[in-house]
Structure 1
Amino acid sequence: MEETFEEVTVLDKPMLFTCARVDRSTVPKGMYLYEVRHDDEMRGDPCQIANWIVVNHWGTLISNEPIRLEKRPNTGNAFRDIDPEKDWNYEGVNSTLQEYMEKHPPKKEKRKEFER
């Protein structure tokens, strides 16, 4: 809860971002963790959000509400392609998860286990 994250706006929603992988068990209930893939050309553009990323891991997003992802058959994973020019904006502000949760309390929605 004391780590510092970058504030970003993704898909028009305020979220937190870090280049590190985050242990899912450390994310408070009501918050959602997703991993981000960067482009294959290695320009450093975030291009996909998923439940987990193995190749081209760019970082981790934490949100107070779920992101709609498309399930992939036979993998148990789900993805969503994004346009880094339209769907992603760095806000230039850092904050802790606690500060984010004070500004953006968790939404009360039913969620699936993998979204935690």
Structure 2
Amino acid sequence: MLLDANEETFELIEIDGKEALFTNGRLDRTTVPEGLFCYDIRESNGFSGEPVTLEPHVMVNHWGTVLSKEEFTLNDEGFYSIDDFNYMGETLSIEEFTSPQNDIDMNI
């Protein structure tokens, strides 16, 4: 089942220094607001619980979905290798994440 991005509460994460929203579900791409970049996370083989790549769509070893204000540059094979993944300890809606006030708060 695909989830409506606007009805989800996400975990705030950081991937290689870029803030993003995370859900372990699959998002309906048609519900993602314009201006956000959407990627699936592929888990390493063997179900280790380690996120290894961001990709446009993941069918096997899907670990979750990420929304970001910044684009992650995909390599020639069509993925971005994750070096550092951190949970920031907050939950946010898309509206909270994209509000101008959030940009101010995050930079203080």
TM range (shorter): 0.7 to 0.9
1:5-84 → structure 2 map (5 Å cutoff): 5-72=10-77, 78-83=78-83
Which letter maps to 1:38? E
Give the fraction of aligned pairs with identical amino acids, expressed as a percent. 39
Equivalent residue number for residue 106 of structure 2: none
Which letter maps to 1:81? S
> In structure 1, what is the Cα distance between the partners aligned to 2:60 and 2:73?
21
Q: 1:2·1:98 contact (CA, 8 Å) conserved in 2?
A: no
Scaled by the length of structure 1, the TM-score of the pair is 0.78
> In structure 1, what is the Cα distance between the partners aligned to 2:8 and 2:81?
27
Q: Give deviations 1:4-28, integer Å, cap 9, x for gaps.
A: 0000001101100000000110011
> In structure 2, what is the Cα distance between the partners aligned to 1:81 and 1:14?
16
Residue 81 of structure 1 deviates from its aligned partner by 1.6
Q: How many residues align structurally? A: 97
Which letter maps to 1:48? T
Structure 1: which 5+ residue stretches go unaligned? Answer: 73-77, 105-116
Structure 1 runs of 4+ aligned residues shifted over 3 Å read none
Judging by fraction of residues, say which structure has more helix. 2
Which letter maps to 1:69? L
> In structure 2, what is the Cα distance between the partners aligned to 1:2 and 1:50?
23
Equivalent residue number for residue 93 of structure 2: 96
Which letter maps to 1:42? F
> In structure 2, what is the Cα distance between the partners aligned to 1:54 and 1:71?
19
Residue 91 of structure 1 deviates from its aligned partner by 0.8
